[in-house]
Chain A
């Protein structure tokens, strides 16, 4: 599918993006990156990656669109209900012992996971004493996350997952339906701070008791995964929790020994 020329051009365009726009994709997982860039070539009508590189360097407006293409992560509210159930039943009792809580949702994309977490914390009477940092590198995704507005046709699936995740009421208590959209309650995000942060180039900014970073590390290579996990370790207080996606593991990481498995099947780890 890809020849040596493609691989050469891939290195060049990633370097160009880094130098010109300061986004570092050089340690993203090549398999997914190649696939997304091949699709981007079609979308932008370019015959080669060099052609795409010329367009992002010389045509304003092309890079922001490419950025969305490269970074958007398709998420859902209460994705993997078993994870949220484990968070509620096993992690919350620990979180309740803190007078105030800081939580980092790393790679929050368009916000579905952040609102899921906020709802869970509200139902466990923890939201008022929590501060949630929701970070992403994609400004367009952050804008959508802040707005908290989702297509109404996705809500049935979200509601089902909410119930399976041990939801205490009905998901409809948390949004207003209007014009084909579900607008989530502003009160949910009064303690959420949305901000730009790159796991590839930025550093630790707060001490937190819980990090959730689900289905983000799968897009990184081993080296960048280790960088990100190092940030989480440095950010977490002692015995703090790290939650990963269903197929993500610390097993192959240099930092494996610095965490223990807390809820193995749900990929919740605890810092030693």
Chain B
């Protein structure tokens, strides 16, 4: 596990929004690692994802702009009709190149560029989906020394994407969405995950 992750990149497609809701529900204030999300989106339509995710996470969610620095405590989502990349200087970059794995934005494009910039200080999370986009990106994260996490196929609404990643990534941690959340909070040094549970039990 990377000692200090500087960023978390998350990818998903069909069925991923549900998992994302579990993952991001009311993140504690001391969770400051930036999260960058690519979900497959319909073309030529403004995305409503920022509003949807912000409502779950209880913190600001934005589509970034070109050359915007990646900042702590922020959640960013890729806009429709662009590939989203992380570039040197830890800023966002975009491209309007051809779709990758029939996807624009593509998860592989974000993951591979992030692996290149963050190396071992990166966590990649791949959620439910119906195609194989993201698998080779997650492998690139693993190869660069970062940590790969895959939503457990039995926990995913559509397991095609998780299965493709598990087949490719030897060291991936396979966890249900709730387990991924707990893992991310622990690795960021937040004790809140367990406290919250105790509160509910009381």
Q: Which residues of A contact B (CB under 8 A)?
A: 1-2, 29-32, 34-36, 73-75, 157, 161, 215, 217-219, 221-222, 225, 245-249, 251-252
Q: B96 contacts A31, CB within 8 Å? A: no
Q: A1 contacts B93, CB within 8 Å? A: no
Q: In this complex, what residue of B is CB-closest to A73?
A: B96
Q: In this complex, what residue of B is CB-closest to A164?
A: B44
9 shortest interchain CB distances as A-B pairs? A31-B85, A31-B87, A1-B140, A218-B94, A31-B113, A252-B67, A249-B65, A32-B95, A31-B93
**B79 CB within 8 Å of chain A:** yes
Q: A217 contacts B66, CB within 8 Å? A: yes
Of the candidates A157, A246, A249, A252, the one whose C-beta lies within 8 Å of that of B79 is: A246
**B82 CB within 8 Å of chain A:** yes
**B97 CB within 8 Å of chain A:** yes
User: CB-CB contacts of B67-87 with A at 8 A, as 1s and 0s?
Assistant: 110000000000101100111
Residues of B142-160 whose CB lies within 8 A of A: 143-144
Of the candidates B66, B81, B109, the one whose C-beta lies within 8 Å of that of A249 is: B66
Q: A222 contacts B86, CB within 8 Å? A: no
Of the candidates B79, B86, B97, B109, the one whose C-beta lies within 8 Å of that of A247 is: B79
Of the candidates B64, B82, B88, B98, the one whose C-beta lies within 8 Å of that of A31 is: B88
CB distance from B69 to the nearest CB of A (A): 8
Q: A215 contacts B65, CB within 8 Å? A: no
Residue contacts A-B, CB under 8 angstroms, 8 given: A1-B112, A1-B140, A31-B93, A35-B112, A218-B66, A222-B89, A247-B64, A248-B66
CB distance from A165 to the nearest CB of B (A): 12
**B115 CB within 8 Å of chain A:** yes
Q: B116 contacts A2, CB within 8 Å? A: yes
Residues of B37-67 whose CB lies within 8 A of A: 44, 63-67
Q: A74 contacts B97, CB within 8 Å? A: yes
Of the candidates A30, A161, A217, A249, the one whose C-beta lies within 8 Å of that of B88 is: A30
Which residues of chain A have C-beta atoms less than 8 A from B144's C-beta?
1
CB distance from B139 to the nearest CB of A (A): 9
CB distance from A116 to the nearest CB of B (A): 15
Q: In this complex, what residue of A is CB-closest to B88?
A: A30
Which residues of chain A have C-beta atoms less than 8 A from B143's C-beta?
1
Q: B116 contacts A225, CB within 8 Å? A: no
Of the candidates B44, B65, B117, the one whose C-beta lies within 8 Å of that of A248 is: B65
**Interface core residue of A31, A222, A225, A249 (most chain B CB under 10 Å):** A31
CB distance from B178 to the nearest CB of A (A): 31
Which residues of chain B have C-beta atoms less than 8 A from A73's C-beta?
96
Which residues of chain B have C-beta atoms less than 8 A from A249's C-beta?
65-68
Q: In this complex, what residue of B is CB-closest to A251?
A: B65
Which residues of chain B have C-beta atoms less than 8 A from A245's C-beta?
96
Interchain CA distance A252-B97 in the complex, whole Å:
23
Knowing that A31-B93, A35-B113, A218-B96 are A-B contacts, what are 10 other residue pairs whose CB atoms are under 8 Å apart, sorted by A's residue number?
A31-B85, A31-B113, A32-B95, A35-B85, A75-B96, A218-B93, A218-B95, A221-B87, A246-B82, A249-B67
